[in-house]
């Protein structure tokens, strides 16, 4: 009886989020067409002889879809904040050869935005380009792997109609994601610093930047008007706030993958599919570690109703109480040992969460929706991609390991 109840709850959860969304024409039909149905006889898995199950395919399909979403948002960051010729000249001989479907992606189109990002770390442009390259490769590989097993590949490009930045030079083709109206949850910051709380055991956490978690904030310059430097060549508070929002958003996006891959790996039957998830998931953890470190360098500034607190002050930015150094100190970026599975076992340093309820496929889509990634500024509603992703997510979460 528990399984139908779980399905009902997830369906209700999906419907509650779709109330804000304007579904594209035929979105439900598209979603049904993308879901794994009756599957062909897949190859036997390497080493253990276990077949690739319908659940394995559902997991791979969902992950490929989510990686396409991530590739879309990272391409926007790279176009504006990736390496410029000046950055390449100063930082080494590595060339930037970002491509999507055989077409080169031009990076660093907003040099003043690059300057603001480099306040967080001088290597930010290179890191952005590398992260973008990784996410493009994840989506392409997963699609290629699905095709090699006789399964349907995934393509969400019909939902790519959201307007990008209007900074000079940015290609004005539609995008899957909106980086102009973000509500960024930064609880991941305190979640990894807590020695007593685990989200899988009911732990609760505070935001590192409370203002980012309310209202809507741009993480990319909307137009050339946002690209303003002070007379001394430093970024204006407004431009720096945009870049710092991006810095915290980078880590928000990548912490989701850090948990999602190990969660779904627990549901996989085929050994080779397990290898795929563990291998890609490891790179997502590397991404998160980098961005977790860089976000802590965001300067203590205020731009309108958005303030970035001094996280090394020992003051809780949520309530002003003192003695909060351990929860917010910027160089505490390695996972603090905390309780796992059972408090009787004692603390251990872990990726968290790793339960389906807290960080599974449906939870990941819900997080992206709450982030504002799919808001259409023309309607202030979510695009039809949400319905498709939710259907794929439910199928992935419902997968069960077969012994």
Question: How is residue 12 written in tokens?
Answer: 């209700």
Q: Check: CB of residue 395 under 8 Å from CB of residue 60.
A: no
The residue extents of the domains of the chain are: 20-397
User: For 297-348, how does the pLDDT look when each residue is reduced to its tens digit (9 = 90+)?
Assistant: 999 999 999 999 999 999 999 999 998 878 999 999 999 999 999 999 999 9
CA 354, 365, 4: angle at the middle one, nearest 5? 75
**Mean predicted confidence (pLDDT) in 198-213:** 96
Mean pLDDT, residues 219-227 taken together: 98
For tokens 């069960």, the residue is 400
Place of tokens 């690059």: 114
Comparing C-alpha atoms, which of 362, 318, 347, 12 is closest to residue 187? Answer: 318
User: What pLDDT, on the 0 to 100 scale, is given for residue 24?
Assistant: 45
- What integer is the mean pLDDT of 125-153? 97
Q: Give the relative orientation of helices 27-34 and 385-397 as an angle to the nearest 10 degrees.
A: 30
Bridge partners for 100 per DSSP: 103
Alpha-carbon torsion (309, 123, 130, 85), positive or negative? positive
Local structure of residue 140 (DSSP, 8 states): H
pLDDT computed for residue 323 by the predictor: 82
Per-residue pLDDT at 102 exceeds 70: yes
pLDDT tens digits for 355-370? 998 889 999 999 999 9
Strands 99-100, 103-104: pairing kind: antiparallel
Q: Tens digit of pLDDT for each residue in 146-183?
A: 999 999 999 999 999 999 999 999 999 999 999 999 99
Write out the DSSP string of 72-118. HHHHHHHHHHS--HHHHHHH-S-----EETTEE------HHHHHHHH
Is a pLDDT exceeding 60 seen at residue 31? no
Mean pLDDT of the 50-60 span? 96
Residue 97 — pLDDT band, cuts 50, 70, 90? Answer: confident
Handedness of CA 88, 93, 99, 103 (dihedral sign): positive
In whole angstroms, how far apart are CA 33 and each of 24, 36, 153? 15, 8, 11
What average pLDDT does this structure show over 81-102?
Answer: 72
Q: How high does pLDDT run on average in the chain? A: 89
Rounded-to-integer distance, Cα 247 and Cα 114, Å:
12
């Amino acid at each position: 009886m528990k399984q139908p109840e779980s399905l009902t709850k997830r369906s209700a959860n999906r419907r509650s989020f779709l109330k804000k969304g304007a579904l594209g024409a035929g979105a439900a039909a598209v979603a049904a067409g993308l879901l794994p149905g009756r599957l062909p006889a897949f190859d036997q898995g390497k080493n253990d002889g276990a077949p690739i199950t319908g659940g394995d395919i559902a997991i791979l399909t969902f992950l490929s879809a989510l990686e396409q979403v991530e590739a879309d948002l990272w391409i926007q960051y790279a176009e504006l904040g990736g390496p410029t010729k000046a950055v390449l000249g100063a930082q080494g001989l590595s060339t930037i050869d970002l491509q999507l479907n055989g077409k080169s992606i031009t990076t660093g189109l907003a040099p003043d935005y690059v300057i603001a990002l480099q306040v967080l770390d001088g290597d930010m442009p290179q890191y952005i380009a590398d992260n973008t390259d990784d996410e493009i490769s994840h989506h392409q590989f997963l699609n290629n792997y699905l095709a090699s097993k006789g399964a349907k590949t995934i393509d969400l490009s019909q939902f790519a109609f959201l307007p990008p930045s209007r900074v000079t030079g940015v290609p004005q083709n539609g995008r899957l994601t909106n980086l102009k109206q973000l509500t960024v949850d930064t609880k991941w910051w305190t979640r990894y610093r807590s020695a007593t709380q685990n989200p899988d055991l009911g732990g609760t956490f505070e935001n590192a930047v409370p203002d980012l978690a309310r209202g809507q904030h741009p993480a990319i310059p909307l137009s050339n008007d946002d690209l303003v430097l002070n007379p001394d060549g430093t970024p204006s508070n407004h431009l720096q706030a945009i870049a710092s929002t991006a810095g915290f958003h980078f880590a928000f996006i990548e912490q989701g993958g850090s948990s999602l891959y190990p969660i779904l790996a627990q549901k996989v039957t085929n050994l080779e599919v397990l290898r795929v998830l563990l291998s890609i998931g490891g790179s997502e953890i590397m991404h998160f570690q980098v961005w977790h470190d860089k976000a802590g360098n965001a300067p203590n500034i205020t731009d309108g109703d958005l303030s970035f607190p001094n996280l090394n002050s020992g003051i809780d930015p949520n309530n002003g109480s003192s003695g909060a150094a351990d929860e917010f100190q910027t160089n505490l970026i390695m996972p603090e040992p905390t309780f796992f599975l059972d408090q009787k076992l004692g603390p251990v340093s872990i990726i968290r969460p790793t339960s389906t309820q807290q960080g599974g496929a449906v939870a990941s889509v819900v997080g992206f929706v709450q982030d504002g990634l799919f808001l259409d500024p023309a309607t202030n509603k979510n695009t039809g991609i949400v319905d498709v992703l939710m259907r794929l997510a439910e199928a992935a979460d419902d997968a069960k390991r077969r012994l």
